[in-house]
Amino acid sequence: VVAAIKPGGKLFFRDYGRYDQAQLRFRPGCKLQDNFYVRQDNTWAYYFTTEEVDKIFTEAGLVPVENEYIRRQYANRQQNVVRFRVWVHAIFEKPVTATDATQA
């Protein structure tokens, strides 16, 4: 993916965050590995931390611009249910090198 980003370009990332309500609702038999689960429809779900996301993208050569948790509380008053959702929202930038600047 990084090879497809132009120097100065940005990568936007948003995915499930650790301790999202959906993660906490998984049955023990659905756990494949730590924070990695299989849903009933056989799709997989991983719940990230901001540290993991930072490590993945900085090791790929990108520079963090934003990297934070988005936390929301949703209430269904009709069913009297409150859900706490967590996402990791991050923006990373591909640095402009001296070579890139001279080619522009």
Where in the sequence is the domain holding 22, given as residue range(s)?
2-103
8 A C-beta contact, residue 35 and residue 23: yes
Residue 103: pLDDT over 80: no
| Domain CATH number, residue 75 | 3.40.50.150
* Cβ atoms < 10 Å from Cβ of 62: 23
pLDDT tens-place string over residues 28-48: 899 999 999 999 999 999 999
| Signed CA dihedral, 65, 69, 28, 39: sign only | negative
The pLDDT score that the predictor gives to residue 102 is 67
pLDDT tens-place string over residues 45-102: 999 999 999 999 999 999 999 999 999 999 988 999 899 999 999 999 999 987 776 6
Count: domains in the chain: 1
The pLDDT score that the predictor gives to residue 98 is 73
The rounded distance, in Å, linking the Cα atoms of 86 and 17 is 5
The pLDDT score that the predictor gives to residue 99 is 76
Residue 100 has φ and ψ, to the nearest 5°, of: -65, -40
> Structure pTM?
0.86
| Signed CA dihedral, 51, 52, 58, 64: sign only | negative
